[in-house]
Chain A
């Protein structure tokens, strides 16, 4: 202790010897109270500060003269008081210093902020920075840009919202079919990618209407402009088992200059790659907001069904795709675009299945073995004329789509051979017109979409089926059904928006018209078709719906709360006519209200809660308004009465979201409940293997509910990322099942866990496991539980990159089930590629273990389905890619 004291003295004493310290207390002269936050400076003769200290809260200070310096004055200053200079010589050490209050005198210096202009909300990514030697297409690079996400179907999202326009050099060549560019345009041709946040594509609406979606613009390298860019790929391979030759080729040319842009391509393959995906429209036309459901085929084509595997494992194709896209910039703000494409495919499927129907007191097994050939030709063309300036936006898009599908199938059903041939053709012509005119502050807009569809469908079944019913008990050669569905739909709307009490009020008024007709006739070979029966297989039905609606909505938003309330008022008129023997026509009108409420609240930066409530109605249309029987396949026939059905359903959804970016922890929980009510009852009964479905008038309640949760966590060790997703859903409904009113509940649970790791730059892997559980239960007339199905999936993928030029990938998948009778499947694939300058050599080996059958079980409505799909066998492909 004494030693410590000595040491302390040793430290303190030299200071007290050599440094001079001044201390004191600062007091307000008028109030006699101490002044805090006053500054005390020691000044040299030339008024230079040499030392400084602040007074504490009781006004006391202490300031020391630095070594080698000499203080002349002590200067005390504080905002709001007159400054005081005290010569050091006359300083009263430790005493009071009194300051006089004084108005703050500040020499003002006026400053006016300059308004520099910048690029606003354009985010530009230089592609060269993100491009790696192994990136071939611009699509590869886009996936890496922060905030940009490319989903498995090729849709590009920016901050979780799909982009609304995809431009190349500011021109919209592909209009939604931008996968053609992302999959085919070389990354080297692109200089930078611009993200135009909150992009309003319509110049006349700038500042009047908002868009939350971003647009993407590709800025090309100078050397890629005004010259033809091309790519040639040649791929050859062999399928191990059959020894058949495989091919995968591409020929592409592109031209981008300021007056014209063109992208033309021919692609073919028989390696299981679905090229028709490139023609999919991926943007959502938010401005138009008009949607018209496309008409679908009434008849079905035979198929074992698609297994839950990657498509290239089972897609036995022979595809050819040709596409031509050209855009002319006629004037500064006027574009004319022509797009045309032709797609041909020939697909073979082999498989077998056993369908088990749980009928009251009986189990019906249908064993099917089938071989099918689907051939398809699709021609699509469109012409778009577009004026887009600050005064007027005009777009007219005329489009046609011709689809010819020929499906042949040979089925062995419970030992009996049947041929089913169906021609499912479809012709669609549509016109989309949008006009937006800007009159200063007011905007007038009108959008109109019109569509005509024609779907002639033919079904031939050999030998003739159900002779007891259709041919007076005599066997016959074949049955033939001709069916034609025609429809015209039109949707026109106009809208305006204004502000009221800090909220936005929006009114939308529109007219939807739908007119459909369905004609069908069944014929059997020979002359024994009972005359009396003819009418029950004849349809001449018409249906028309007129829907006039007015939808006011109110939206409000502040920094933690967001809400929107919308009440749609619909006046509907429904008309139906049946022109067969028992002529019938009728019409009805309804006035309906459909509220829709959305609320979102941010509790903190970490927690968010949102809720949704909506109430909706829907009517049956021609698909459930035909009184005569229609065979939809060789073993199902359906007929629906004259009753227009009305269903109402409510939807409630609530979700809680927690994200802690510091801990890298994310959690999300959502639940939904939607009860429904409708006035028709589906009735299904079996006549041998024939399933007959009819609609009856009866009130039915149904409900759906479910819970979904996701948890994820990041760890710094090996860049580990862990994610667990769980899902539960259940639905309850009632059907008349073999004349017995049956209420049933189906439930499914799925859970998947995935872990990704990247221990170093050259290696990474991902492991994922999923579990699926399905269960079916009847509640009425008595409770019965059927055997549940449990399926498992495990995937492992391993990547190695020894250098930028080489890459190696190995993936393995394992599928099994709790049902020991089901064969488990194991798949393994390898690929290796080497890149040199403008070309790349790829080698891939798929299905190394040559696993050609995939078995699975699934559960349907009061039925169980066991299927075996024939897969593509082991295959090797060598591909050379070259771009110039």
Chain B
């Protein structure tokens, strides 16, 4: 019995070693509002979200404030032994965007970006990529955003053309989403089709430093191609996607024995992959 106990304790110790340690902490919190499209078939309909960029000495994290709040509530209710409805009831009145992606730049190694997103209910995928610094063209335009003097720059980045306003008053070469590589912080960024628009609404110094670390959940590690192919399949052929979990019910047939033809809900993302461009 004693031996079993020791093994169990050792097992848990070993498991706890796996949990990621925080190596940087944020001193600055920048809040953006975002207007974005969710449905590729209805590009004029915009959803909105509040997102946070936490900036540390070396690294940064970027996520949806709304979904983060939902996740925190879920975690705390679950930790308290509640589940299901209590979780739902706790966040029922909160606004949601269902943008569950999180981006960590330079967190565990320089020039690396960690991207985490939920593909389906509680199924999180995680991929790493080398940070790609866009080649910006500086434009001769200036304006003030939230009291900061900003200059405009544009670039072609990850399949879209972006116009961004940055301020050298905050000399941090970072910005919303994967955008970065300007002499100052990006306070406003919009793509040429106006499908995605981030604009800064808040800048706060964090008096109590907030550690930057990957949020706690279980991930499926994958590469970027695998992530996008899963996302696309989840949107465009959900039944095929569920087969990956051995769900035989994924073979949808109607009462007449025909296979179900699902409407194509085209997947749309901030990033346009090379393969998807054509």
Task: For B251, list chain A residues within 8 Å (CB).
Answer: 721, 756, 766
Answer yes or no: B248 CB below 8 A from chain A CBs.
Answer: yes
B258 touches A604 (CB 8 A): no
A108 touches B151 (CB 8 A): no
State whether A557 and B79 are in contact (beta carbons under 8 Å apart), knowing that A111-B202, A144-B260, A668-B246 are contacts in the complex: yes
Contact with A along B164-194 (1 / 0, CB 8 A): 0000111111000000001110000000000
Task: For A141, list chain B residues within 8 Å (CB).
Answer: 254
Q: Which 4 A-B pairs have the closest CB atoms?
A: A111-B202, A666-B246, A210-B85, A116-B95
B245 touches A134 (CB 8 A): no
Chain B positions near chain A (C-beta within 8 angstroms): 27-28, 31, 50, 57-58, 65-66, 75, 78-96, 119, 121, 123-124, 136, 138, 140, 142, 146-148, 151, 153, 168-173, 182-184, 200-205, 216-220, 222, 226, 230, 238-263
Given B75, B171, B218, B263, which contacts A83 in the complex, CB threshold below 8 Å?
B171
A559 touches B243 (CB 8 A): no
State whether A198 and B88 are in contact (beta carbons under 8 Å apart), knowing that A139-B255, A212-B83 are contacts in the complex: yes
Q: In the complex, A129→B94 CA distance in Å? A: 28
Answer yes or no: A502 CB below 8 A from chain B CBs.
Answer: yes
Contact with B along A754-780 (1 / 0, CB 8 A): 101010010010100000000000000
Q: In the complex, A249→B86 CA distance in Å? A: 47
Answer yes or no: A660 CB below 8 A from chain B CBs.
Answer: yes
B81 touches A557 (CB 8 A): yes
Among residues of A, the one whose C-beta sits closest to the C-beta of B259 is A764
Report the contact-size class of chain A (Cβ under 8 Å from the partner): 35 or more
A799 touches B259 (CB 8 A): yes
Task: For B151, list chain A residues within 8 Å (CB).
Answer: 48-49
Task: For A77, list chain B residues within 8 Å (CB).
Answer: 168, 171, 183-184
A502 touches B81 (CB 8 A): yes
B123 touches A661 (CB 8 A): yes
Among residues of A, the one whose C-beta sits closest to the C-beta of B32 is A111
Answer yes or no: A575 CB below 8 A from chain B CBs.
Answer: no
Task: For A557, list chain B residues within 8 Å (CB).
Answer: 78-79, 81-83
Q: In the complex, A110→B202 CA distance in Å? A: 5
B249 touches A118 (CB 8 A): no
Q: In the complex, A557→B89 CA distance in Å? A: 17
B93 touches A113 (CB 8 A): no
Q: In the complex, A199→B85 CA distance in Å? A: 7
State whether A833 and B256 are in contact (beta carbons under 8 Å apart), knowing that A41-B183, A108-B204, A198-B85 are contacts in the complex: yes
State whether A140 and B220 are in contact (beta carbons under 8 Å apart), knowing that A39-B184, A48-B142, A719-B240 are contacts in the complex: no
Q: In the complex, A50→B140 CA distance in Å? A: 9
26 of the cross-chain contacts (CB-CB < 8 Å) are A49-B153, A49-B168, A52-B136, A75-B168, A77-B171, A77-B183, A79-B57, A79-B170, A107-B148, A113-B31, A118-B95, A143-B252, A206-B85, A207-B85, A207-B86, A212-B84, A499-B80, A560-B218, A605-B219, A661-B244, A662-B230, A664-B243, A711-B246, A714-B244, A719-B240, A764-B259
Q: Which of A199-234 contact B (CB under 8 A)?
A: 199-200, 206-207, 209-212
Q: In the complex, A557→B183 CA distance in Å? A: 46
The minimal Cβ–Cβ distance linking A727 to chain B, given in whole angstroms, is 15
Among residues of B, the one whose C-beta sits closest to the C-beta of A75 is B168
B245 touches A661 (CB 8 A): yes
Chain A positions near chain B (C-beta within 8 angstroms): 37-41, 48-52, 54, 75, 77-79, 83, 104, 106-111, 113-118, 120-121, 129-130, 132, 134-137, 139-141, 143-144, 146-147, 149-151, 159, 197-200, 206-207, 209-212, 499, 502-504, 555-560, 602, 604-606, 659-668, 710-712, 714, 719, 721, 723, 754, 756, 758, 761, 764, 766, 797, 799, 801, 807, 809, 831, 833
Given B173, B202, B219, B254, which contacts A135 in the complex, CB threshold below 8 Å?
B254
B258 touches A559 (CB 8 A): no
A143 touches B254 (CB 8 A): yes
A111 touches B201 (CB 8 A): yes
Task: For B85, list chain A residues within 8 Å (CB).
Answer: 198-200, 206-207, 209-212
B257 touches A109 (CB 8 A): no
B82 touches A210 (CB 8 A): yes
The minimal Cβ–Cβ distance linking A123 to chain B, given in whole angstroms, is 10
B83 touches A115 (CB 8 A): no
Q: In the complex, A118→B202 CA distance in Å? A: 23
A660 touches B220 (CB 8 A): yes
B254 touches A210 (CB 8 A): no
Given A49, A107, A132, A797, which contacts B260 in the complex, CB threshold below 8 Å?
A132
A605 touches B255 (CB 8 A): no
Task: For A104, list chain B residues within 8 Å (CB).
Answer: 27-28, 205
9 other A-B residue contacts (CB within 8 Å) besides A50-B138, A143-B252, A604-B218: A48-B138, A120-B93, A146-B239, A661-B244, A665-B244, A754-B248, A761-B261, A799-B258, A801-B258
Task: For B90, list chain A residues within 8 Å (CB).
Answer: 207
A605 touches B220 (CB 8 A): yes
Among residues of B, the one whose C-beta sits closest to the C-beta of A555 is B81
B183 touches A39 (CB 8 A): yes
Task: For A558, list chain B residues within 8 Å (CB).
Answer: 78-79
The minimal Cβ–Cβ distance linking B160 to chain A, given in whole angstroms, is 21
Among residues of B, the one whose C-beta sits closest to the C-beta of A668 is B246
Task: For A115, list chain B residues within 8 Å (CB).
Answer: 93-95
A659 touches B245 (CB 8 A): yes
Task: For B230, list chain A residues within 8 Å (CB).
Answer: 661-662
State whether A39 and B239 are in contact (beta carbons under 8 Å apart), knowing that A49-B138, A210-B82 are contacts in the complex: no
Q: In the complex, A361→B169 CA distance in Å? A: 101
A559 touches B82 (CB 8 A): no
Task: For B78, list chain A residues within 8 Å (CB).
Answer: 557-559
Q: In the complex, A137→B254 CA distance in Å? A: 9
State whether A109 and B255 are in contact (beta carbons under 8 Å apart), knowing that A559-B75, A662-B222 are contacts in the complex: no
B50 touches A113 (CB 8 A): yes
Task: For A79, list chain B residues within 8 Å (CB).
Answer: 57, 170-172
Among residues of B, the one whose C-beta sits closest to the C-beta of A115 is B95
Q: In the complex, A49→B226 CA distance in Å? A: 39
Task: For B75, list chain A residues within 8 Å (CB).
Answer: 559
Q: In the complex, A444→B62 CA distance in Å? A: 45
Q: In the complex, A710→B245 CA distance in Å? A: 11
Q: In the complex, A660→B246 CA distance in Å? A: 10
A117 touches B93 (CB 8 A): yes
A52 touches B183 (CB 8 A): yes
Task: For A121, list chain B residues within 8 Å (CB).
Answer: 88, 92
Q: In the complex, A144→B226 CA distance in Å? A: 25
Q: In the complex, A606→B218 CA distance in Å? A: 8
Task: For B172, list chain A residues within 8 Å (CB).
Answer: 79
Among residues of A, the one whose C-beta sits closest to the C-beta of B237 is A719
Among residues of A, the one whose C-beta sits closest to the C-beta of B136 is A52
A807 touches B169 (CB 8 A): no
Q: In the complex, A661→B245 CA distance in Å? A: 6
Q: In the complex, A108→B241 CA distance in Å? A: 46
Among residues of B, the one whose C-beta sits closest to the C-beta of A563 is B81
Among residues of A, the one whose C-beta sits closest to the C-beta of B79 is A558
The minimal Cβ–Cβ distance linking A83 to chain B, given in whole angstroms, is 7
Task: For A159, list chain B residues within 8 Å (CB).
Answer: 121
State whether A109 and B28 are in contact (beta carbons under 8 Å apart), knowing that A801-B258, A807-B257 are contacts in the complex: no
The minimal Cβ–Cβ distance linking B25 to chain A, given in whole angstroms, is 14
B254 touches A144 (CB 8 A): yes
Task: For B220, list chain A residues within 8 Å (CB).
Answer: 605-606, 660-662
A664 touches B244 (CB 8 A): yes
A661 touches B119 (CB 8 A): yes
A132 touches B261 (CB 8 A): yes
The minimal Cβ–Cβ distance linking B208 to chain A, given in whole angstroms, is 15
A666 touches B31 (CB 8 A): no
Among residues of B, the one whose C-beta sits closest to the C-beta of A144 is B260
B171 touches A78 (CB 8 A): yes
Among residues of B, the one whose C-beta sits closest to the C-beta of A50 is B138
B244 touches A49 (CB 8 A): no
Among residues of B, the one whose C-beta sits closest to the C-beta of A120 is B92
B259 touches A52 (CB 8 A): no
Most buried by A among B78, B184, B238, B258: B258
A602 touches B258 (CB 8 A): no
Q: In the complex, A666→B220 CA distance in Å? A: 14
The minimal Cβ–Cβ distance linking B87 to chain A, given in whole angstroms, is 7
The minimal Cβ–Cβ distance linking A126 to chain B, given in whole angstroms, is 9
